[in-house]
Amino acid sequence: MVCSRYRVYGLILESELVCPGFATVSEAKPDVFVKMGDVPDELENVKASGFKFQANPDHVLTKGRRARMLVSKGSQITIQPSEGTHEDVIRSLFMAWGLGALLHQRNIFPLHGSVISLGNECVAFCAPSGTGKSSLSALFVKRGYTLLDDNIAAIGLVNGTYMVYPGAPVIKFPHDVLKKSGDFFSSLGTFQPFLDKYVVVVSQNCPESPLPLKKIYVLTRSGHPGYALSPLNGASRFESLMKNTFCPQFLRGMNKLSQHFRTVRSLANQLPMVGVQLPDWPTPYSEVADVLERDFVA
C-alpha cells in the first residue's frame, strides 16, 4: 500500500491512510507509523476499560462497530476497518481517538479546542462539541487569522514555555450551521452523512514550528441573551482544563493520571484564561469576535 508522510502536532507520520489537510513532507524521518492491519479483540494486562476501549501503559485499543484501532507506545497506529466502512469514517476515528491517544502516550497535552495564530503567538478556544468554537474559528479565518487546528490544541512544554503544535486546518460544521450562524460561511465543503457535518479543509500557509500559547478562552452557553468575558481564577482554570481534556478516559489505564494532573495544574498557574459566555442561538459571532480581538492584545 502507498504511504504518504505528513507533519502534524510536531510529529512526522508515515501513513497508509490519506489525510487531507495534513501538511505533506518528503525527506523526513517518521516518528509515527499509521497502517492498516489486524487489530486484536482484547488487550493483555488491561489497566482500565470503558465504552469501546481498553488501555494499558503501552497500548490503547478502541473497538467500534466501524473499525478497531490499536495505538502503541506513541509510535504506531494500526487500523482494522469493518467491511464496507467508508474512508471518511476511518479518517474521523483516526483523527479523534487515534491521535488523542497518541498525544497522551507522547506526553503532549491534547486540549479539546480550536487554535488560531496571532503571528508569533496563538490563542485557543476550548469547549464541548456544539458550543460554537468551529463557528468562531471560521469567522477568524475569514478575518485573516491562520487556523492551527479546530479540534485539538496539542500543547507541549518547550524550553519552559507552553507551546501549541500546528495540527490540521480542517473545520467541521453541523448540518444546520447556515440557519444558526448567519451568512459568513461562503462554502461549507463536502457533507459527511455519518457525522451529520460539512467538512472544510482551509487553504492557508500553516507554520511548521510550535507557537507560544498566549491565552485560553473557555466557551460556555449561558442560556441568557447577550455575551460576556470574565477572567478565570486558579480553581476554575484547573476545572476547565480537566473538563476539556481530549480523550481523558484513556489516562488511568496508561498510568498517566498523576502526570496529567501536574500538567494541568502547571498550565492553570501559568496561562491566562478567560471565560466567554455565549447566548443561546442566534449567536452574534461578529460582535463576540470583535470583543475577543480587543482582548487578544490586552
CATH of domain 110-296: 3.40.50
215 or 198: which leads in pLDDT: 215
Q: Would you list the domain boundaries of the chain?
A: 4-106, 110-296
Q: In this predicted model, what pLDDT tens digit does every residue of 253-268 receive, in sequence order?
A: 999 999 999 999 999 9
Question: What is this structure's pTM?
Answer: 0.92
Q: Alpha-carbon distance 60 to 101, whole Å?
A: 7
- Please check whether residue 21 is in contact with residue 203, taking contact to mean a CB–CB distance below 8 angstroms: no
Give the DSSP per-residue string, 97-150: IIHHHHHHHTT-EEEEEEEEE-SSSEEEEE--TTSSHHHHHHHHHHTTPEEEES
pLDDT in the model for residue 182: 47
pLDDT at 104 over 80: yes
Tell me the pLDDT band of 191, cut-offs 50, 70 and 90: low
With contact defined as beta carbons under 8 Å apart, do 36 and 30 qualify?
no
From 93-107, 124-138, 143-157, the region with the lowest mean pLDDT: 124-138
